[in-house]
């Protein structure tokens, strides 16, 4: 972090010596904000003002994270003949966290191909960095992409910029959440996974945080900001489910988890980064399968066991056995 800061300062001095004027673009402004982010008092979030700027209500999450869900219920997307629910793989979101420099905003926008360019341009104009653009699932009809964003500064200003970008998409306005309906053996899934989740409509969602403290350019990133493994089950029929989500992994965990998933018939559909300056460096592995939900949970458990979390749990179990 210190090295990156002084490199930035050196670049600024070099430009000044050359007599050139460079406007502080989004990335430069972001770097400057982060350089100040761990100094001074934390500026509390005005959640009501941020919600007004976002055009919808948010919800506080653990770690003092303010989250806004923007499900793409306007999209009809199929994979292998299965229509995806927004809660399975079409859920845009934006999160805010108070910092010493104002606020940190992160998020993931679900986009059609023709929305990518206007949204990216609008984010850039608003001083928001794009940190990743990729797919999550294969064989989608129509193709869908996921754009990760990152901004630092005044929370309301960030929210206004993000709202302007979202307005260029077909993302619908706020609506009442779908009633929760139990169509899966969630108790069996939880037992197989070793951790429980919650229903979002008919989709059973499980979140598994990493044991490490994650930082982005020196700012602590709580699990609720998108650095927890997400596992989603959408019922199909007869106890079967489609699964999608992403494992959050360290570099040495990537291939052990690939082998664990593939060994249980779970397809690995993408491996990539979501952030630019995360410490430790994180990789996000997306997956897809359709089968008996409990059997899939057993396969996912083997992948969880291939991570540091699994190592620590085995050490804990060993202490009890002694």
pLDDT tens digit sequence for 4-49:
433 434 444 333 333 343 333 333 344 444 444 455 678 789 999 9
Which residues lie closer than 8 Å to 29 by C-beta, 6 or more apart? Answer: 127, 152, 153
Average pLDDT of span 232-252: 97
Residue recorded with tokens 């089950």:
233
pLDDT tens digit sequence for 76-132:
999 999 999 999 999 999 999 999 889 999 999 999 999 999 999 999 999 999 999
Q: Is the pLDDT of residue 235 over 70?
A: yes
Distance CA 292, CA 290 (A): 7
Residue ranges of domains in the chain, CATH in brackets: 25-166 (no CATH), 186-321 (3.30.1460)
Distance CA 59, CA 95 (A): 9
pLDDT number for residue 16: 38
Category of 210 on φ-ψ map: left (φ > 0), alpha (ψ -120 to 50) or beta:
beta
User: The tokens of 27 are what?
Assistant: 């990335």
How far lies 225's CA from each of 159, 230, 267, in Å? 15, 12, 26
User: The tokens of 208 are what?
Assistant: 């598994």
Distance CA 63, CA 51 (A): 18
The radius of gyration of the chain's CA atoms, rounded to the nearest angstrom, is 21
pTM of the model: 0.84
Which H/E stretch holds residue 249? strand 240-249
């Amino acid at each position: 972090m210190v090295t990156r800061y002084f490199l930035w300062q050196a670049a600024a001095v070099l430009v000044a010596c050359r007599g050139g004027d460079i406007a502080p673009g989004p990335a430069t402004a972001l770097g400057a904000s982060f350089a100040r982010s761990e100094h001074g008092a934390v500026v509390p979030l005005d959640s009501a003002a941020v919600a007004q700027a976002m055009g919808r209500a948010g919800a506080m999450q653990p770690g003092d994270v303010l989250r806004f869900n923007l499900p793409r219920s306007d999209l009809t997307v199929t994979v292998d003949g299965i229509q995806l629910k927004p809660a399975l793989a079409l859920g845009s979101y934006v999160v805010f966290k108070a910092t010493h420099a104002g606020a940190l905003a992160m998020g993931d926008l679900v986009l059609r191909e023709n929305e990518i360019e206007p949204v990216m341009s609008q984010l850039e104009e608003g001083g928001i960095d794009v940190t990743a653009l990729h797919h999550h699932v294969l064989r989608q009809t129509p193709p869908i992409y996921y754009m990760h964003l990152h901004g630092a500064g005044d929370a309301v200003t960030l929210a206004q910029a993000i709202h302007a970008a979202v307005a260029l998409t077909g993302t619908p306005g706020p609506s009442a959440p779908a009633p929760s309906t139990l169509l899966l053996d969630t108790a069996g899934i939880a037992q197989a996974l070793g951790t429980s989740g919650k229903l979002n409509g008919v989709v059973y969602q499980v979140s598994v945080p990493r044991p490490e403290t994650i930082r982005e350019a020196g700012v602590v990133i709580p699990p609720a900001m998108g650095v927890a493994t997400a596992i989603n089950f959408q019922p199909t029929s007869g106890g079967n489910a489609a699964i999608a989500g992403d494992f959050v992994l360290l570099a040495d965990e990537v291939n052990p988890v690939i082998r664990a998933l593939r060994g249980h018939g779970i397809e690995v559909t993408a491996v990539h980064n979501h952030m630019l300056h995360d410490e430790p460096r994180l990789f996000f592995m997306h997956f897809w399968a359709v089968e008996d939900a409990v059997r899939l949970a057993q396969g996912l458990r083997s992948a969880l066991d291939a991570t540091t979390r699994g190592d620590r749990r085995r050490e804990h179990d060993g202490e009890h056995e002694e």
